[in-house]
């Protein structure tokens, strides 16, 4: 999507800063900055905003060879509005957008080339029947680790609608990423506690369940038990995109072969970079910057 960010409430008018946003593109940029070969599959409009999206991804080292351009639909838009203190309202303009016209056919060539990890989010399925079918097709990709970030957006679909779509996908997933209140949307309906939901997902064959707990850190559950990691505390400028940064760090460490503790460490580190900077993805670290947060506050690196 294109993204517009206001410095004050929208009804007061004023200027809007233009950038790009989107959970999957944030993760792709995060992985590319950490040195991984990354491909983004999606649909933009044949308009200046679509060209901005593709140009930004290319500039960040993300392969957009298989991205599609729809000449009959506009590029989607998201607007961020600060309302009071650190509360930000988000408005989506995605109905009828090019992204809502994604279908399994758009994925075929890219998936045929293969990948070590295929990363998906529930947001795609919320955009309509075509994107939902594309998500389901990608989840059935063989010879790849399938990661799903539930990423529920209440302005796009209800919890009940999300659960109806995501629960049947659980047996196809290798990694599930969710905040503690999102687990219920992918775990079987009969599981009523977090412990039960985690165990039910493990019983269905999910290898790793990663639970994001915001400022309290994160945990990963596997058949071998649980590993926890506290958050890295930094001055918070913006929390939008923190979850995507977390996922990028987690998948990066997975691709590097790190154990669960190492994966969580990198994930909370990249998440901290995101919340300490403005924008969804602009503050994401490069690999050589991962230890910057070990510096004392106020340090000047000369």
> Has residue 80 been placed in a domain?
no
pLDDT at 155 over 90: yes
- Evaluate whether 30 touches 249 at the Cβ level (below 8 Å): yes
> Has residue 16 been placed in a domain?
no
- Evaluate whether 217 touches 231 at the Cβ level (below 8 Å): yes
pLDDT on residue 143: 87
Q: Which residues pair with 149 in a beta bridge?
A: 121, 177
Q: Identify the domain containing residue 124 by its residue range.
A: 22-72+99-283
User: pLDDT by residue (tens digit) across 65-105?
Assistant: 999 999 999 999 999 998 887 788 999 999 999 999 999 99
| Pairwise CA distance, residues 96 & 127, whole Å | 9
pLDDT on residue 87: 83
> Has residue 91 been placed in a domain?
no
> Has residue 11 been placed in a domain?
no
- If we measure between CA atoms, which residue out of 63, 135, 76 comes closest to residue 106? 135
List the CATH number of the domain containing 189: 3.40.1190.20
Domain count along the chain: 1
| Pairwise CA distance, residues 253 & 263, whole Å | 5
| Pairwise CA distance, residues 43 & 134, whole Å | 12
> Has residue 88 been placed in a domain?
no
pLDDT on residue 29: 98
> Has residue 92 been placed in a domain?
no
| Pairwise CA distance, residues 24 & 149, whole Å | 10
Q: Is 301 exposed, middle or buried (0-12, 13-18, 19+ CB in 10 A)?
A: exposed
> Has residue 12 been placed in a domain?
no
- What's the mean pLDDT in 28-47? 98
pLDDT on residue 120: 98
Q: What are 70's two structure tokens? A: 């729809």
> Has residue 289 been placed in a domain?
no
User: pLDDT by residue (tens digit) across 198-239?
Assistant: 999 999 999 999 999 998 999 999 999 999 999 999 988 888
Query: Which contacts (CB < 8 Å, 24+ apart) does range 215-219 have?
Result: 217/264, 217/268, 218/246, 218/264, 218/267, 218/268, 219/264
Q: Catalytic residue positions? A: 244
């Amino acid at each position: 999507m294109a993204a517009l960010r206001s410095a004050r409430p929208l009804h007061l008018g004023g200027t809007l800063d233009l950038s790009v946003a989107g959970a999957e593109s944030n993760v792709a940029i995060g992985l590319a900055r950490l040195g991984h070969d990354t491909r983004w599959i999606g649909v933009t409009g044949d308009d200046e905003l679509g060209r901005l999206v593709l140009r930004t991804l290319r500039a960040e080292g993300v392969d957009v060879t298989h991205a599609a351009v729809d000449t009959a639909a506009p590029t989607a838009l998201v607007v961020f509005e600060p309302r009071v203190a650190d509360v930000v309202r988000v408005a989506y303009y995605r109905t009828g957008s090019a992204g809502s016209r994604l279908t399994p056919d758009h994925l075929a060539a890219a998936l045929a080339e293969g990948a070590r990890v295929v990363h998906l989010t529930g947001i795609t399925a919320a955009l309509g029947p075509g994107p939902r079918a594309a998500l389901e097709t990608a989840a059935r990709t063989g010879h790849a680790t399938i990661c799903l970030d539930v990423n529920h957006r209440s302005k796009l679909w209800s919890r009940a609608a999300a659960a109806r779509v995501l629960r049947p996908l659980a047996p196809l997933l290798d990694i599930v990423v969710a905040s503690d209140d999102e687990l219920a949307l992918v775990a079987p309906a009969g599981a009523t506690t977090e412990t039960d939901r985690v165990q039910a997902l493990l019983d269905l064959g999910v290898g790793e369940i990663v639970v994001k707990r915001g400022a309290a850190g994160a945990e990963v559950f596997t058949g071998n038990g649980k590993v926890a990691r506290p958050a890295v505390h930094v001055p918070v400028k913006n929390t939008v995109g923190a979850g995507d940064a977390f996922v990028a760090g987690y998948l990066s460490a997975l691709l590097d072969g790190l154990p669960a503790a190492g994966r969580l460490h990198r994930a909370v580190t990249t998440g901290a970079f995101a919340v300490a900077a403005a924008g969804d993805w602009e503050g994401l670290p490069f690999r050589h910057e991962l230890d910057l947060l070990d510096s004392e506050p106020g340090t000047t690196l000369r």
